[in-house]
Amino acid sequence: MDAELKTVLDGIGPRLRTLRQERGQTLEALAAATGISLSTLSRLESGKRRPTLDLLLPLARAHRVALDALVAAPASGDPRVHLRPLHKGHGNVVVPLTSYPGRVQVFKQVLAPREPRLVTHEGYEWLYVLAGELRLLLGERETLLRPGEVAEFDTREPHWFGPAGTTAVEVLHLYGPRGDQAVVREAPHP
């Protein structure tokens, strides 16, 4: 085994232990969440057992991190992310920026003019206007947002959003399961 591979493999156990401890999770709770035995988890964390893909995948899922975060593999060279826009018809484009099932989903959207149609569903949404003007309907209320402005709302309330006029609007859109909310931190104004 070459030195670089040995270094990567030796770092996985301590990384697993640190991640579990930072989350305040016991080995017993992690074993229950992953289906991996307590002794196997203990040996993985102490470096007495070599990590395998069938052990690392459930751990990544349980901790809700990418597999790379557990392995800390060396960079593969090309840092670019190759996004694939989805054309939704009538000038609407969605670019998924994340793809972690069950977690907050992030999209860049270009929304073309269309007729409002209120909808409801489980979840929580956060909208940041990049370009254009966004018309947001929440129940009986209507709000106009301009570039740099943010709106967040519970999706169980009837809602619709789209361009305020006859030109498209560009938004950064976060959608999460019930209870997941974006946290906006703003520096105090002088």
pLDDT tens by residue, 49-100: 988 889 999 998 888 888 877 887 666 666 677 778 888 878 889 888 887 6
**pLDDT classification of 38: cutoffs 50, 70, 90:** very high
CATH 3.40.640.10 fits domain 86-176 = no
Q: Supply the pLDDT for residue 44.
A: 93
Q: Supply the pLDDT for residue 141.
A: 96
Residue found by looking up tokens 């950064």 in the block = 172
Q: Which residues contact 81 (CB under 8 A, 6 or more apart)?
A: none
pTM of the model: 0.55
**pLDDT classification of 181: cutoffs 50, 70, 90:** low
Q: Supply the pLDDT for residue 98.
A: 81
Digit-coded pLDDT (tens) for 122-170: 889 999 999 999 999 999 999 999 999 999 999 999 999 999 999 999 9
Q: Which residues contact 152 (CB under 8 A, 6 or more apart)?
A: 124, 125, 126, 127, 181, 182
Digit-coded pLDDT (tens) for 97-120: 887 666 788 999 999 999 999 999
CATH 3.40.605.10 fits domain 3-71 = no
Q: Where are the domains of the chain?
A: 3-71, 86-176
Count of CB atoms situated within 10 Å of the CB of 82: 5
Q: Supply the pLDDT for residue 187.
A: 54
Task: Find out whether 171 and 134 touch, Cβ atoms under 8 Å.
Answer: yes
